Structure 1
Amino acid sequence: MTTAHEHDASLRFSYDSERRARIVTEALAPEIDQIEDPRSAATVDRDGDTLEVRITAADLVALRAGVNSWTRLVEVAETVGLQ
Protein backbone atom coordinates (compact mmCIF):
# COMPACT_ATOMS: atom_id res chain seq x y z
CA MET A 1 0.00 0.00 0.00
CA THR A 2 1.41 3.38 -1.01
CA THR A 3 0.61 6.42 1.09
CA ALA A 4 0.47 9.80 -0.63
CA HIS A 5 2.75 12.33 1.04
CA GLU A 6 0.67 15.50 0.98
CA HIS A 7 2.74 17.65 3.36
CA ASP A 8 6.33 18.78 3.00
CA ALA A 9 9.02 20.90 4.60
CA SER A 10 12.46 21.98 3.44
CA LEU A 11 15.27 22.58 5.89
CA ARG A 12 18.26 24.53 4.59
CA PHE A 13 21.60 24.76 6.35
CA SER A 14 24.38 27.06 5.13
CA TYR A 15 28.03 26.42 6.02
CA ASP A 16 31.27 28.39 5.92
CA SER A 17 32.53 26.34 3.01
CA GLU A 18 31.45 23.90 0.35
CA ARG A 19 33.78 21.32 1.93
CA ARG A 20 31.97 21.56 5.28
CA ALA A 21 28.57 21.18 3.58
CA ARG A 22 29.87 18.13 1.71
CA ILE A 23 31.14 16.51 4.94
CA VAL A 24 27.77 16.98 6.65
CA THR A 25 25.89 15.74 3.57
CA GLU A 26 28.06 12.62 3.38
CA ALA A 27 27.55 11.97 7.10
CA LEU A 28 23.77 12.07 6.56
CA ALA A 29 23.71 9.83 3.47
CA PRO A 30 23.44 6.49 5.34
CA GLU A 31 20.42 7.76 7.27
CA ILE A 32 18.31 8.07 4.12
CA ASP A 33 18.15 4.29 3.68
CA GLN A 34 18.07 3.44 7.39
CA ILE A 35 14.94 5.35 8.36
CA GLU A 36 11.92 3.39 7.22
CA ASP A 37 8.55 5.02 7.78
CA PRO A 38 5.56 4.47 5.51
CA ARG A 39 4.17 7.87 6.53
CA SER A 40 7.18 10.00 5.62
CA ALA A 41 10.29 10.21 3.46
CA ALA A 42 13.28 12.51 3.13
CA THR A 43 15.92 13.53 0.63
CA VAL A 44 19.25 15.21 1.26
CA ASP A 45 20.85 17.43 -1.39
CA ARG A 46 23.71 19.90 -1.47
CA ASP A 47 24.25 22.95 -3.63
CA GLY A 48 27.62 24.49 -2.94
CA ASP A 49 27.82 25.46 0.72
CA THR A 50 24.12 24.81 1.37
CA LEU A 51 22.56 21.53 2.51
CA GLU A 52 18.84 20.92 1.98
CA VAL A 53 16.78 18.25 3.68
CA ARG A 54 13.32 17.84 2.14
CA ILE A 55 10.78 15.93 4.19
CA THR A 56 7.44 14.74 2.83
CA ALA A 57 4.75 13.20 4.98
CA ALA A 58 1.25 11.81 4.82
CA ASP A 59 0.08 13.87 7.81
CA LEU A 60 1.22 16.75 9.99
CA VAL A 61 2.19 14.53 12.94
CA ALA A 62 4.56 12.54 10.71
CA LEU A 63 5.90 15.78 9.21
CA ARG A 64 6.67 17.22 12.64
CA ALA A 65 8.38 13.97 13.67
CA GLY A 66 10.42 13.99 10.46
CA VAL A 67 11.48 17.62 10.91
CA ASN A 68 12.51 16.93 14.51
CA SER A 69 14.43 13.77 13.57
CA TRP A 70 16.29 15.34 10.65
CA THR A 71 17.12 18.47 12.63
CA ARG A 72 18.73 16.27 15.30
CA LEU A 73 20.54 14.19 12.67
CA VAL A 74 21.98 17.33 11.07
CA GLU A 75 23.12 18.59 14.49
CA VAL A 76 24.97 15.31 15.08
CA ALA A 77 26.40 15.24 11.54
CA GLU A 78 27.75 18.77 12.04
CA THR A 79 30.07 17.41 14.73
CA VAL A 80 31.74 15.03 12.24
CA GLY A 81 35.36 15.97 11.75
CA LEU A 82 35.35 18.64 14.44
CA GLN A 83 37.13 16.54 17.08
Structure 2
Amino acid sequence: MHDAELVFDYDTPEAAALIADSVGQEIGEIEGDRTTAAVSRDGSRLRIDIDADDLVALRAGLNTWATLVEVAERSMKAGR
Protein backbone atom coordinates (compact mmCIF):
# COMPACT_ATOMS: atom_id res chain seq x y z
CA MET A 1 0.00 0.00 0.00
CA HIS A 2 1.20 3.51 -0.83
CA ASP A 3 -0.17 6.79 0.47
CA ALA A 4 0.24 10.53 0.13
CA GLU A 5 -1.41 13.65 1.41
CA LEU A 6 -2.11 16.91 -0.34
CA VAL A 7 -2.36 19.93 1.97
CA PHE A 8 -3.71 23.31 0.87
CA ASP A 9 -3.78 26.45 3.03
CA TYR A 10 -6.31 29.20 2.30
CA ASP A 11 -6.76 32.77 3.49
CA THR A 12 -10.01 32.01 5.30
CA PRO A 13 -11.83 28.99 6.70
CA GLU A 14 -14.73 29.86 4.39
CA ALA A 15 -12.51 29.50 1.31
CA ALA A 16 -11.20 26.16 2.55
CA ALA A 17 -14.76 24.98 3.24
CA LEU A 18 -15.89 25.97 -0.26
CA ILE A 19 -13.06 24.03 -1.89
CA ALA A 20 -13.55 21.06 0.45
CA ASP A 21 -17.27 20.94 -0.34
CA SER A 22 -16.57 21.16 -4.05
CA VAL A 23 -13.98 18.39 -4.28
CA GLY A 24 -15.55 16.32 -1.50
CA GLN A 25 -18.47 15.54 -3.78
CA GLU A 26 -16.12 13.40 -5.85
CA ILE A 27 -15.35 10.97 -3.01
CA GLY A 28 -16.66 7.59 -4.09
CA GLU A 29 -17.42 8.84 -7.59
CA ILE A 30 -13.99 8.78 -9.22
CA GLU A 31 -12.10 6.29 -7.13
CA GLY A 32 -11.00 3.14 -8.87
CA ASP A 33 -10.29 -0.33 -7.64
CA ARG A 34 -6.76 0.63 -6.66
CA THR A 35 -7.14 4.11 -5.13
CA THR A 36 -9.18 5.69 -2.35
CA ALA A 37 -9.20 9.23 -0.99
CA ALA A 38 -10.51 11.19 1.98
CA VAL A 39 -11.06 14.95 2.22
CA SER A 40 -10.85 16.77 5.55
CA ARG A 41 -10.60 20.38 6.67
CA ASP A 42 -9.27 22.05 9.78
CA GLY A 43 -9.93 25.77 9.75
CA SER A 44 -8.17 27.25 6.72
CA ARG A 45 -6.37 24.01 5.86
CA LEU A 46 -7.70 21.42 3.41
CA ARG A 47 -6.21 17.94 3.41
CA ILE A 48 -6.68 15.13 0.93
CA ASP A 49 -5.35 11.71 1.92
CA ILE A 50 -4.80 9.29 -0.94
CA ASP A 51 -4.20 5.55 -0.54
CA ALA A 52 -3.26 3.37 -3.49
CA ASP A 53 -2.32 -0.21 -4.16
CA ASP A 54 0.68 0.73 -6.31
CA LEU A 55 2.75 3.73 -7.37
CA VAL A 56 1.05 4.11 -10.75
CA ALA A 57 -2.34 4.35 -9.07
CA LEU A 58 -0.94 6.77 -6.48
CA ARG A 59 0.40 9.07 -9.19
CA ALA A 60 -2.95 8.98 -10.99
CA GLY A 61 -4.75 9.78 -7.74
CA LEU A 62 -2.43 12.68 -6.97
CA ASN A 63 -2.91 14.13 -10.45
CA THR A 64 -6.67 13.75 -10.28
CA TRP A 65 -7.13 15.37 -6.86
CA ALA A 66 -4.65 18.17 -7.53
CA THR A 67 -6.53 18.98 -10.74
CA LEU A 68 -9.90 18.94 -8.97
CA VAL A 69 -8.60 21.39 -6.38
CA GLU A 70 -7.14 23.63 -9.09
CA VAL A 71 -10.46 23.75 -10.95
CA ALA A 72 -12.36 24.48 -7.72
CA GLU A 73 -9.92 27.30 -6.88
CA ARG A 74 -10.30 28.85 -10.33
CA SER A 75 -14.06 28.61 -10.08
CA MET A 76 -14.01 30.27 -6.66
CA LYS A 77 -11.87 33.13 -7.99
CA ALA A 78 -14.12 33.58 -11.03
CA GLY A 79 -17.17 33.76 -8.77
CA ARG A 80 -15.79 36.61 -6.71
Provide TM-score, normalisation by structure 2.
0.92
Per-residue Cα deviation, 1:23-82 (whole angstroms, up to 9, x for no partner) = 000111211121130100000000000000000000000001100111001101112332
User: Residue 13 of structure 1 corresponds to which residue in structure 2?
Assistant: 8
- The question of 1:47 aligning with 2:42 is answered yes
Q: Distance in 2 between matches of 1:12 and 1:75?
A: 13
Whole-angstrom distance in 2 between the partners of 1:69 and 1:58: 16
Identity across the alignment (%):
47
Q: In the alignment, residue 76 of structure 2 is paired with which amino acid? A: G
Q: Which has the larger radius of gyration?
A: 1
Alignment counterpart, residue 35 of structure 1, candidates 22, 25, 30 = 30
Unpaired runs of 5+ residues, structure 2, are none
What SS is found at the alignment partner of 1:81? helix
Question: Could you list the runs of 4 or more consecutive aligned residues of structure 1 that deviate by over 6 angstroms after TM superposition?
Answer: none
CA distance in 2, matches of 1:63, 1:81: 27
Higher mean C-alpha deviation, range 15-24 or range 30-39: 30-39
2:11 is matched by which residue type in structure 1? D
